[in-house]
Amino acid sequence: MAGGPWPGHGPPGRPPHLTTPGAGHRLPARQALFVLLYDGHTCLRGRADFGAAPSATFLLVDEAGHLTGPPAIWIVSQPLGNALQGLGTAIRYYLHFSERAQEIAILMVAHHRDSPFERFAHQQAGLKKGLTQEDINAILAGRPPTLVSGEEQAVYEATRRILDAGTLDAQEYEKYAAELSVAHLFELVALIGYYSMLATQLSVFDIQPPAPSPASQEGITK
């Protein structure tokens, strides 16, 4: 999508009405509202000096002060943006899987949907949550990582089947409902659906990750 969906207006993939002021300028109230939580980043609403929490793995604002990632889309609709923020918070912080298992499933979605921003964000998040670079490389090549628990094995297998087939058959449902519990299987399906939705939004609106430095690409494969 050369030039993004609004060609001729600012950087590729950044429509003019999604552009935020540069650093040091107070964000308009509507825009400040949508500096949102996403993947370990806590950006405070209504503040001129916003940024990432100490545990953050990537920034939601680029060097020019533009929103990046899903918030760059969510800003256009306050009702949906707020709802998606709440859903994202629940998905990222209130599931009962281990952080490693969550990142395995998210990276599988990123690979399946060929989502550049999700690959960018969750390569970094995965390393912070306990995956190795070899694990990440394997997932992004369509292979299983080292699975260190029964939970991770079940999450990997169920996610693979859901991504490939869009569902589980009766036998698979019984297997993974027993291994994970019905509640935790529902959480996994919600996580897969959420990141699949984000991949669609990021693709349609051509939201790309920042250009990587050569050092950041060492050992990373797609």
Mean pLDDT, residues 179-206 = 97
- Give pTM, 2 decimals: 0.76
Is the pLDDT at 152 greater than 90? The verdict is: yes
88 in helix, strand or coil?
A: helix
Is the pLDDT at 174 greater than 70? The verdict is: yes
Q: Which comes out higher in pLDDT, residue 169 or 16?
A: 169
pLDDT band at 214; cut points 50, 70, 90: low
pLDDT band at 47; cut points 50, 70, 90: very low
pLDDT band at 67; cut points 50, 70, 90: confident
pLDDT band at 183; cut points 50, 70, 90: very high
pLDDT band at 190; cut points 50, 70, 90: very high
181: tokens are 């519990």
Mean pLDDT, residues 189-203 = 97
Q: What is the mean pLDDT of the chain?
A: 77
Report angle CA 156, 162, 167 to the nearest 5 degrees. Answer: 145
Hey, what domains does the chain have and what are their CATH numbers? 16-94 (no CATH), 97-217 (1.20.1290.10)
Q: 105 with 157: CB under 8 angstroms?
A: no
Distance CA 113, CA 98 (A): 23
Distance CA 127, CA 204 (A): 28
Q: 6 with 15: CB under 8 angstroms?
A: yes
Mean pLDDT, residues 57-82 = 79
Which position has the token pair 């939004």?
201
Distance CA 126, CA 128 (A): 5
Which residues lie closer than 8 Å to 140 by C-beta, 6 or more apart? 107, 110, 111, 119, 123, 220, 221, 222
What's the pLDDT at 209? 87
Would residue 219 be called left, alpha or beta, if left means φ above 0 and alpha means ψ between -120 and 50 degrees? left
Segment 89-138, tens digit of pLDDT: 999 899 999 999 999 999 999 999 999 999 999 999 999 999 999 999 99
Which position has the token pair 């953050």?
56
**Positive or negative torsion for Cα 56, 60, 62, 64:** negative
What's the pLDDT at 213? 54
